[in-house]
Chain A
Amino acid sequence: MLRTATAVGLSLLLTLGTAQAQTLRFGLAEDPDALDPTMGRTFVGRIVFSAMCDKLVDITPDLKVVPQLATEWTWSDDGKVLTMKLRPNVVFHDGEKFDAAAAKFSLERHLTMAGSQRRGEISAIKQIDAVDDLTIRMTLAAPFAPLMAQLTDRAGMMVSPKAAQALGDKFATAPVCAGPFKFVERVAQDRIVVEKFEQYWNKDAIKLKRIEFRPFTDNAVKLANLKAGQLDIIERLAATDVAEVKKDPKLKFASIVELGYQGITINTNNGDKAKSPIGQSEKVREAFELALDRQAIVQVVFNGEYQAGNQWLSPSNPNYDKAFPIPKRDVAKARALLKEAGVANPVVNLMTPTTGEQQQLAQVIQAMTKEAGFDVRIQATEFASSLNLAEKGDFEAYLLAWSGRTDPDGNLYNFVACKGPLNYGKYCKPEVDALLDQSRTTTDIEARRKAWNGVAKATLADRPVVYLYHRKWLWAATAKLSGFTEYPDGLVRFANMTLN
Chain B
Amino acid sequence: MTAATLDATVIQSPLKRALRRLARRRGALVGLAIVLVFVVLAIGADVFSPYDPTATDWMAVRKGPSAAHWFGTDEIGRDVLSRVIHGARASLMAGLISVCLALGLGIPIGMIAGYAGGFVDGLLMRLTDAMLACPFLILAIALAAFLGPSLANAMIAIGLSATPIFIRLTRAQVQAVKVEDFVEAARAVGNPPWRIALRHILPNIVPALMVQGTLTIAAAIIAEASLSFLGLGQQPPAPSWGSMLNTAKNFLTQAPWMAVWPGISIFLVVLSFNLVGDGLRDALDPRHRG
Could you mark each residue 235-251 of chain B with 1 if its beta carbon is under 8 Å from any beta carbon of chain A, else 0? 11100000000110111
Could you mark each residue 53-74 of chain B with 1 if its beta carbon is under 8 Å from any beta carbon of chain A, else 0? 0111010010000000000000
Does A56 touch B at the CB level, under 8 Å? no
Within 8 A of B (CB), among A358-399: 359-360, 362-364, 366-367, 378-382, 385
A interface majority secondary structure: helix
Tell me the smallest distance from the CB of A352 to a CB of chain B, in Å: 8
Bound Cα distance from A366 to B232, whole angstroms: 19
Give 16 A-B contacts (CB < 8 Å), ordered by A residue: A219-B250, A238-B250, A240-B75, A244-B254, A299-B58, A300-B58, A300-B77, A301-B75, A359-B236, A360-B76, A362-B236, A363-B76, A378-B236, A380-B232, A380-B235, A385-B145
3 nearest interchain CB pairs?
A: A380-B231, A354-B231, A367-B56
Could you mark each residue 313-341 of chain A with 1 if its beta carbon is under 8 Å from any beta carbon of chain B, else 0? 00000000000000000000000000000
Tell me the smallest distance from the CB of B98 to a CB of chain A, in Å: 20
- A-side interface residues, number (CB < 8 Å): 27
What residues on A are CB-neighbors of B55 within 8 Å? 367
Tell me the smallest distance from the CB of A390 to a CB of chain B, in Å: 15
Bound Cα distance from A359 to B231, whole angstroms: 9
Contact between B237 and A363 (Cβ–Cβ < 8 Å)?
Answer: yes
Q: Which residues of B contact A (CB under 8 A)?
A: 54-56, 58, 61, 75-77, 141, 145, 149, 229-232, 235-237, 246-247, 249-254
Bound Cα distance from A240 to B232, whole angstroms: 25
Instruction: Point out the residue from B61, B235, B247 that lies within 8 Å of A356, measured CB to CB.
Output: B247
Contact between A354 and B229 (Cβ–Cβ < 8 Å)?
Answer: yes
Known: A301-B76, A382-B141. A366 touches B231 (CB 8 A): no
Known: A363-B76, A380-B149. A300 touches B61 (CB 8 A): yes
Query: Which chain B residue has the least Cβ–Cβ distance from A383?
Result: B231
Q: Which residues of A contact B (CB under 8 A)?
A: 219-220, 238, 240, 243-244, 296, 299-301, 352-354, 356, 359-360, 362-364, 366-367, 378-382, 385
What residues on A are CB-neighbors of B236 within 8 Å? 359, 362-363, 378, 380
Tell me the smallest distance from the CB of A240 to a CB of chain B, in Å: 7
Tell me the smallest distance from the CB of A368 to a CB of chain B, in Å: 8
Bound Cα distance from A359 to B54, whole angstroms: 13
Contact between B247 and A354 (Cβ–Cβ < 8 Å)?
Answer: no
Bound Cα distance from A161 to B94, whole angstroms: 58
What residues on B are CB-neighbors of A243 within 8 Å? 254
Bound Cα distance from A296 to B75, whole angstroms: 13
Contact between B76 and A300 (Cβ–Cβ < 8 Å)?
Answer: yes
Bound Cα distance from A220 to B253, whole angstroms: 10
Query: Which chain A residue has the least Cβ–Cβ distance from B251?
Result: A240
- Sample of 13 further A-B pairs with CB below 8 A, known A360-B247, A364-B56, A367-B76: A240-B254, A300-B76, A300-B77, A301-B76, A354-B229, A362-B236, A363-B236, A364-B76, A366-B237, A367-B237, A380-B231, A382-B141, A385-B145
Bound Cα distance from A385 to B149, whole angstroms: 12
Contact between A244 and B253 (Cβ–Cβ < 8 Å)?
Answer: yes
Tell me the smallest distance from the CB of A40 to a CB of chain B, in Å: 26
Tell me the smallest distance from the CB of B26 to a CB of chain A, in Å: 37
What residues on B are CB-neighbors of A378 within 8 Å? 235-237
What residues on B are CB-neighbors of A364 within 8 Å? 56, 76
Tell me the smallest distance from the CB of A263 to a CB of chain B, in Å: 20
What residues on B are CB-neighbors of A220 within 8 Å? 249-250, 252
Contact between A296 and B58 (Cβ–Cβ < 8 Å)?
Answer: yes
Contact between B54 and A356 (Cβ–Cβ < 8 Å)?
Answer: no
Bound Cα distance from A300 to B254, whole angstroms: 14
What residues on A are CB-neighbors of B251 within 8 Å? 240
Bound Cα distance from A381 to B236, whole angstroms: 12
Tell me the smallest distance from the CB of A303 to a CB of chain B, in Å: 9
Query: Which chain B residue has the least Cβ–Cβ distance from A376?
Result: B237
Query: Which chain A residue has the least Cβ–Cβ distance from B61?
Result: A300
What residues on A are CB-neighbors of B247 within 8 Å? 356, 360
Tell me the smallest distance from the CB of A394 to a CB of chain B, in Å: 12
What residues on A are CB-neighbors of B229 within 8 Å? 354
Contact between A240 and B250 (Cβ–Cβ < 8 Å)?
Answer: yes
Instruction: Point out the residue from B230, B237, B252 that lies within 8 Å of A382, measured CB to CB.
Output: B230
Bound Cα distance from A7 to B250, whole angstroms: 32
Query: Which chain B residue has the least Cβ–Cβ distance from A364?
Result: B76
Bound Cα distance from A356 to B242, whole angstroms: 13
What residues on A are CB-neighbors of B56 within 8 Å? 300, 363-364, 367
Tell me the smallest distance from the CB of A359 to a CB of chain B, in Å: 5
Bound Cα distance from A359 to B228, whole angstroms: 11
Tell me the smallest distance from the CB of B249 to a CB of chain A, in Å: 6
Contact between A356 and B246 (Cβ–Cβ < 8 Å)?
Answer: yes
